[in-house]
Amino acid sequence: MRLPADPRVRGTLLLAAAIAGLIALMAIVSRLAPEPTGPPSSSYATAPEGLAAYASLLERAGHPVRRVRTPVAEEAPARDQTLVVLDPDVMEPEEARAIGDWVRRGGRLVAGGVGDQPWLDAVLGDAPVWRGGAPVRRRTLVPVAETTDVTEVRGAERGAWHVLGPTLPAIGPAGAPLLVTASVGEGSVALLADPSPLQNRGLDAADNAALGLALAGEPRTTVAFLETVHGYGVARGFAGLPERVRWTLIGLALTALVAIWALGRRFGPAEDPDSDPPPPRVAYVDALAAALARAKPDKEKERS
């Protein structure tokens, strides 16, 4: 197989083939040796501070898991689900109010994170205050649903709740609890000052996994992780297609490039616009026949 003689066509084909090969190589490397990635406390994240392992634990325990990429203000979860909102990067006031309305109608919210969470005022009216610094080991203070089978929780020394307002400390110490709970309207709220016990790096320590299951609610309760607060929206265009469809389209594109390359062997060098075009085939055949006739020996002369 040879490339077209035209350097512009040849360069385009080589560039396209190089790009396609690079994409295929990156995809293979990503599949064989994926890097831990993702924002903190996202159920998509496989990094140490992600919640991918927690989501897998819930699924193995029989809890259906959803990744919500549509704002609650546009489409609220069912009221019998548990909504998880931890370490939000951004929380619009309209979204915070929508979450508060959903909780008051009977929803169950697991929320919090490292640092102040002012959006929780729209849910509780008077949210607890966050402060840095806390012991690594925390112990259960009261036997509530959120502490079922939980005796000790181990996390990072990143913070605790203070000025608790209407909330009840559930996992201590009492003056600076890790977990507080509250009833809001017909719903309930569980607030974590530090999500590290549920994150990938700490889920297997102490009773951290048991805490994660207790926070999910009753058996087989659907757990919805709100991913819009981590920058994940509704996928559209090429990214919105199923993964198998995307790989099929990439394969078709590569096949098309190979076909274009194969067709290049039919192309000759660029024609000189000032050169005379070749004669028609009929004229060529007639001229060849006349030449053969002239070259044919005269049999009568040979006999004489």
Domain ranges in the chain are 7-33+243-266, 52-230
Return the pLDDT at 233: 73
Looking at the chain, the whole-number percentage of residues with pLDDT higher than 70 is: 72
Per-residue pLDDT, averaged over 37-63, amounts to 94
Q: Look at residue 245 in the predicted model and tell me its pLDDT.
A: 57
Rounded Cα–Cα distance for residues 192 and 40 (Å): 14
Residue 253's pLDDT is what?
73
In this structure, what DSSP letter does residue 270 have? P
pLDDT of 200 over the 90 cut? yes
CB neighbour class for 167 (10 Å; exposed up to 12, middle 13-18, buried from 19): buried
**Confidence at residue 33, expressed as pLDDT on a 0 to 100 scale:** 47
Distance of CA 66 to the CA centre of its chain: 13
pLDDT band at 276 (very low <50, low <70, confident <90, very high): low
Specify the higher pLDDT residue, 284 or 269: 284
The pLDDT confidence band at residue 38, using thresholds 50, 70 and 90, is confident
Find the DSSP H helices in the chain: 7-32, 52-60, 93-104, 121-124, 208-216, 243-263, 281-295, 299-303
Whether omega before 197 lies within 30 degrees of 0, making that bond cis, reads no
Mean pLDDT of the region 81-97:
95
Q: Name the residue with higher pLDDT: 211 or 253.
A: 211
pLDDT at residue 265 tops 70: no
- What's the pLDDT tens digit per position in 169-193? 999 898 899 999 999 999 999 999 9
Is a pLDDT exceeding 80 seen at residue 235? no
At 240 the pLDDT is 47
* Whole-number pLDDT of residue 241: 47
Percent of the chain whose pLDDT exceeds 90: 56
The pLDDT, as a whole number, for residue 46 is 93
Residues 117-122 have a mean pLDDT of: 94
Q: For the ranges 137-141, 271-275, 278-282, which has the lowest average pLDDT?
A: 271-275
Higher pLDDT residue, 280 or 179? 179
User: Does 62 have pLDDT greater than 90?
Assistant: yes
pLDDT band at 275 (very low <50, low <70, confident <90, very high): low
Instruction: Please tell me the number of Cα atoms within 13 Å of 263 on its side-chain side.
Output: 8
CA pair distance 208, 204, nearest whole angstrom = 6
Highest mean pLDDT among 10-24, 160-174, 238-252: 160-174
Mean pLDDT for 94-100 is 96
In this predicted structure, the answer to whether residue 234 has a pLDDT above a threshold of 80 is: no
CB atoms within 10 A of CB 39: 18
How far is 282 from 289, CA to CA, in rounded Å? 11
The band of 259, judged by pLDDT with boundaries at 50, 70 and 90, is: low
| Best CATH choice for the domain 52-230 from the list 3.40.50.620, 1.20.1250.20, 3.40.50.880, 3.40.718.10 | 3.40.50.880
